[in-house]
Amino acid sequence: MKLNDSLTSAIASLASSTIYNNTDSSNSNTTVSMEDFLKILSATMSNPSIDDSSSSGSSSSGSDYMSELAQYESLNTLTEMNQTLTASVELQQQQEALGMLGKKVTLTDSGSSVSGTVDQVKFENGMATLVVNGKEYELSSLSSVSENS
* Beta-sheet strand order (sheet of 104-109): 135-138, 127-132, 112-124, 104-109, 142-146
pTM of the model: 0.49
Distances (CA, A) of 78 to 34, 59, 74, 91, 146: 15, 30, 6, 20, 39
Q: Is the pLDDT of residue 3 over 60?
A: no
Mean pLDDT of the chain: 75
Q: What is the mean pLDDT of residues 60-71?
A: 70
| Neighbouring residues of 142: CB distance < 8 A, sequence distance ≥ 6 | 105, 106, 107, 130
Mean pLDDT of 38-66: 62
Q: Is 11 exposed, middle or buried (0-12, 13-18, 19+ CB in 10 A)?
A: middle
All residues at 6 or more sequence positions from 68 whose CB lies less than 8 Å from its CB, including other chains: none
Residue 42: the pLDDT is 74
Kindly list the distances between the CA atom of residue 24 and the CA atoms of 30, 36, 148, in Å, as whole numbers in the listed order.
11, 18, 51
Per-residue pLDDT at 63: 67
Grade residue 20 by pLDDT with cuts at 50, 70 and 90.
very low
More confidently predicted of 17 and 133: 133
Cα 24 → chain centroid? 19
Query: Between the CA atoms of 123, 128, 134 and 135, what dihedral angle is there, to the nearest 10 degrees?
Result: -120
Higher pLDDT, 107 or 53: 107
| Residues 69 and 37 sit within 8 Å (Cβ to Cβ) | yes
